[in-house]
Each structure stands twice: as structure tokens, then as C-alpha cells.
Structure 1
Amino acid sequence: MSDPVLLCIGDIDRDVMISVPSLPTFDGKVSGRPLGEWPGGMAANVAMAATRLDTRTRLLGVVGEDATGERILAGLDRAGIDVSPCRLLPDSETFTSLVFLTDSGEKALVRVETPAFMPDPADITPEVMAGASYVHISYGAPALANAVVEAAERVGVPVSMDLELADLPSDRTDLARLLPRLDLLFVNRAMREALDDLRTPRPDGPALVTTLGAQGARYEDADGAVHQRGIATTPKDTTGAGDCFAGAFLSARMSGESPKTCLMFANAAAALSTQAYGAQAALPTRTDVAAVLARQHADTNTIT
């Protein structure tokens, strides 16, 4: 039997990072300095994180038919990700995220979207879905998310979704209908508080994974909740840490691990991912994660 394949569908971008003393306020202004640019995008980050952790991955996304897009796709391909479903969009630039980063690792992002932002629902073909064991998406393009879930249901493949406050539509009717069809929903603390309006979690809904920053993460399903404390670290750049967490959690889940073990594994991976500038620059290997977990276990056992 071949190894399971994680199919990630969504955005691929370049992150232009700017160091600032503090995040600008409304109608405010701060001075900054450029740190550089790195590949990013939720789907690409999750796929790269899972690949580094020895999970087979396939990526569906679009980039502009420009030097940036070609360079990013080439890097993903070299890393071992199957990028054959990805498209270069003619007459479009690869979209950019501006990342404003403070010395403490606090950040704010601006998505400078272009037509090369998300795949089209028509891109969800049987060939893209063939052989996938698990699918991960975001809600950045609702029509695409619905098309993916429908295609996954036809072939019996579970779907997880990352949901952010920025992607919440004003009319949440379609989203409320989509949520019960998911296997997993990834959210941060702020998004978790907003979920009460959508009556999630609920018995017919997905399992819910909430990232809590330094406080770790929590898993909730119909059987109860599991909390796992975080890994102490001094972050250099938290960009993409949530994506790394999702990629690591899914890697462990696809291997049959328990929710608690998945949380431990993902917490360690996400902490390691914050140690360099760029969402993909410090993504850890399975060996790296195992070393952190071994140290944490040893430290716990020495406490009297």
C-alpha cells in the first residue's frame, strides 16, 4: 500500500517582510526597514510543512506567469511536493502578502491580491483528487471551498479547513452549511470565540483545533476536549506558524496518532518554525520535532 497523500488547495504567494518598531494604528504611520522576501501562502506553507515531516503532498494553486511564480513553483517542486496541478496564470502577477513584523514577533499582514490568488472551482478535477487521502483548504474563496468539499465527498476523502476572521463573510449561511461536512476545522483564539455565532462545535460538526500561541492548542470533538501546553520559545518570526501547525497535525493524524499526540507534535513543529524569517525557512524535519519532544519529556520528568 502506498503512503497517504495530503492534497493542499489554495493560495501560493511571496511574502515581503518589513521590520517595524510597532504595528501601525488606524490612520497612523511608522517607519520600517525591509527584511526580504520569501515564498508563502497558506496552501503552500501547509504542503511544505507536511513534506518536511515525510508526508507525501500534492498542491493545487495558481501563480502569475512571472519570474516570481516560476521561482516559487520550482522551489516547491525541489522540496518534493507534487505541483503538477498548479497553473501559471497568463498576464497576471503572483500575489503578494506584505508582512509587518515587530521585534517581539508580533505581525500584521496585508494581502495584495491579483487574479492569481486562488484556483477556480473548475480546477477541482478527478485527476487532482485521484489518490488523495486527505484534503486541506482555507475559506479564502467560498465557491472553491464548496467545490472541493463536494469533490471530496464523491470520492470519500476527509477535508480539513483553516478559517480566519478575515475570511468570514457577512452572510454566514453557506459557511454554516459547509462546516458539518468537514472532518477538521483549524482556528485561532479570536476565530474560536466567533464560532459561537455559527453554533460550532456541535455533535454533527467537525472536530475543532484551536491554536493558542504560547498557551499551546486545544482539540474538541463530540467526545470532549484535549488541551496541550505550548513549547517555550523566543520567536523570531511567527509568519506561517499556524500553517506549520496544521501541516504537522495532519501529518500525525494521517499516521493514525491520537488527538493529544497530534497536538504535541504540531506544537513542537510550530515552535521550531518561528526561528527564522520566512514562513518556510525554518520548517522542521521529523527528527527535529522528535528532539524537541524528547527534551520536553525529560524536563517534565525532572520536575519534583
Structure 2
Amino acid sequence: MSQDTDVLVLGGAGVDTIVYVPELPLPYADSYMIDSGIRTRAGQTGDFVAVGLSALGLRTHHLDTLGDDPEGELVRALHRDKGIPLTAVPQPAGTKRAVNLVGPDGRRLSLYDTSRSHPDDRLPEPTVRALAEASRHVHVSLTHPCAHALPVLRETGVPLSTDLHDWDGENPYHEPFALAADVVFLSATALTDPERTMRRIAERGRAEVVVATAGAEGAHLLTDGELTRIPAVPPPTPVVDSNGAGDAFAAAFLFGRLSGEPPRRCALYGAVAGAHACTVPSTQTDVIGREELLKRVAEAEN
């Protein structure tokens, strides 16, 4: 079958309502005045990965469930504006949504509305198979429909990646994703021993590469049994928001991998893209482009 798509992104479509707060954790008060405004925009993890991949020149397709509601229309509009093909499976419960509280230092607290997604949600198997077989790579989000799609995806033989986000290394929901993917991303935030968790993923699953991002401390890269620390790249302008940094890292890493770059250079791509994302307010979807990424990577290597 002709591979018309570089990366199929599965899941993670939705909207976020962004609220900039004076501090995190937010002390109890009857009310807060939000002078910066409260804004709702399309863009959850799958959307950001898809937008990041497309901005880097990769042919990207996004598949997920969406409701027939205003939130769903925001997601559809984002994909139309960015020129990213979207296959939307009807979701009677509505489009996934969340509220992100963002502090002055860029840290965030996300509140997810779980009523818009259910454990028995499914993506049509023929659709998943057809889109995967037409792709060079599939990136799988953690959202509910995607777990059920993993067996079909593995049958296609298409390489997989996933992002476990702030997995604690124990929650059983994340394990099928961790063990099915060839490339595994996760945050070191909730890990007491990142190396131990990374090696367990590689030993028990199929992962050729495991990357644990650690914010300003850089990232840990495990490949061929060797653990390497990837230094953080200084952001080009002040940090305003960490939302989307992990998605940007994953998109740029996959761009490098699909371009034939070795894992360490792929991780540098990710570090540069993640640093850029931290300079962009959550209310925007301004991701780094291919030319700018390669320019900053060259500067970081010199």
C-alpha cells in the first residue's frame, strides 16, 4: 500500500481553557480577578503533536473521536487552518476538554473533564488499520480509544511511538502503551528513579528508544542499553508557559528519527523544540518550523 502519510497521530484531540493564575498552588479565595483573560482554544496533546509534525514538513494525519459541539468545531477549525487531515469519529459524549491553570513561572495544573471520554470508547478497526498501513509511523496518545487500537496497530507492523506523560511507573493503564511502542516518551516528574523505569520499559516491551524529559534539567535517553543525559537547550526568549513542551519534544524527535538521524541528535531536536514551546503562551499554537529548528540545532552543536 502507498504510504501517503509520514505520521498518523492517534487520539489526544480536544480543547483547553487557559487561566493564568498569580501562583501555583493557588491559595483558596472566594474569587480571583484574571486580568489576562480566560481563553478556550483547540489543542490537547494529539493536536499539538500533529501541528508540530506538520510544521516540520511531515505529512500528518490525525484520528480521534470528536463531539458535534462547539469544542469539536474548534478542533476541526485548527486542523483546517493548519492544513492537517483529520478523521473525526463521532463521540456522543462530546469533545474532550480541560482547564489549565498556568503560574507565573510557566508551570501548569491541568483539570481534565473525564465525562467526555469513556473506557469503552472505540475507534473503528478498519479505519485504524487503513490509516496506519498508509503511514510510515504512528504516534499513539494515552486517551481511552487508543488503548483498544494497540493490537491492530501492532498487526500492521508500522513503527509506533507514545507519550506516557507524567506516569509514575506503576499505574497499569499506561503499561500497554509503554510495552507496545518502539519509541517511548515520558516525563521524569513523577519518577523517583527514572533510569529504573526506563530500563523496565525497554526490557519488558519493544522500545528501541526511551526518553524521559526533565524540564530545565534536560532529558534522559536510553538506547541500545546505554543511558545518556541530554542537556537542556536555553530558550531563545523568557519562559512563559510549559504547556505543550513535551508534545513539541516528541514531534521534533520523530522528525529527526524519520529523517534518519541517530537518537542523540533526535533528542537534541526535541530539546530545541521543547525550549521554543516554553516561550509560547498556552493561548497560542505557534510551534517551531523546520528551518528555525535546524538553525537552532546547528547553533547548539557549535
**TM-score, with structure 1 as normaliser:** 0.84
Moved more, 106-115 or 42-51: 106-115
Cα separation, 2, equivalents of 1:203 and 1:140: 24
Q: Runs of 4+ in structure 1 displaced over 6 angstroms?
A: 166-169
Give deviations 1:214-239, integer Å, cap 9, x for gaps.
12222103331222211112211111
Cα separation, 1, equivalents of 2:4 and 2:268: 22
Conserved 8 A contact 2:147-2:177: yes
The Cα of 1:202 is off from its aligned counterpart by: 3.9
Moved more, 280-289 or 107-116: 107-116
Conserved 8 A contact 2:136-2:158: yes
- The structure-2 alpha-carbon separation of the partners of 1:179 and 1:104, relative to structure 1 and needing over 3 Å to count, comes to closer
Unaligned runs of 5+ in 2: none
Conserved 8 A contact 2:178-2:201: no
The Cα of 1:271 is off from its aligned counterpart by: 1.1
Unaligned runs of 5+ in 1: 299-304
Residues 1:245 and 2:246 are matched in the alignment: no
Query: What does residue 124 of structure 1 align with?
Result: 125
- The structure-2 alpha-carbon separation of the partners of 1:176 and 1:70, relative to structure 1 and needing over 3 Å to count, comes to closer
- The structure-2 alpha-carbon separation of the partners of 1:119 and 1:247, relative to structure 1 and needing over 3 Å to count, comes to farther
SS across alignment from 1:61: strand
The Cα of 1:178 is off from its aligned counterpart by: 5.5
Query: What does residue 181 of structure 2 align with?
Result: 182
Conserved 8 A contact 2:99-2:111: yes
- The structure-2 alpha-carbon separation of the partners of 1:248 and 1:198, relative to structure 1 and needing over 3 Å to count, comes to closer
Number of equivalences: 291
SS across alignment from 1:6: strand
SS across alignment from 1:180: helix
SS across alignment from 2:186: strand
Residues 1:28 and 2:28 are matched in the alignment: yes
Q: Percent identity?
A: 23
Cα separation, 1, equivalents of 2:250 and 2:76: 21
Give deviations 1:218-276, integer Å, cap 9, x for gaps.
21033312222111122111111111111111111111111111011111111112222
Query: Quick one: which amino acid aligns to residue 61 of structure 1?
Result: D
The Cα of 1:2 is off from its aligned counterpart by: 5.6
Query: What does residue 49 of structure 1 align with?
Result: 52
The Cα of 1:197 is off from its aligned counterpart by: 6.8
**TM-score, with structure 2 as normaliser:** 0.85
- The structure-2 alpha-carbon separation of the partners of 1:128 and 1:235, relative to structure 1 and needing over 3 Å to count, comes to same
Query: What does residue 7 of structure 2 align with?
Result: 6
- The structure-2 alpha-carbon separation of the partners of 1:185 and 1:19, relative to structure 1 and needing over 3 Å to count, comes to same
Give deviations 1:154-183, integer Å, cap 9, x for gaps.
11112111113469775x2x7546533320
- The structure-2 alpha-carbon separation of the partners of 1:140 and 1:279, relative to structure 1 and needing over 3 Å to count, comes to farther
Cα RMSD over matched residues?
A: 2.8
Moved more, 191-200 or 248-257: 191-200
Query: Quick one: which amino acid aligns to residue 200 of structure 2?
Result: T
Cα separation, 2, equivalents of 1:60 and 1:167: 27
Moved more, 112-121 or 268-277: 112-121
Conserved 8 A contact 1:140-1:167: no
The 5-angstrom pairing of residues 1-304 of structure 1 reads: 5-24=6-25, 28-29=28-29, 31=32, 33=34, 34-83=37-86, 85-90=87-92, 92-115=93-116, 120-125=121-126, 126-141=129-144, 144-165=145-166, 172=172, 175-176=174-175, 179-193=178-192, 196=196, 200-205=200-205, 206=207, 207-233=209-235, 234-278=238-282, 281-298=285-302
The Cα of 1:283 is off from its aligned counterpart by: 0.5
The Cα of 1:99 is off from its aligned counterpart by: 0.8
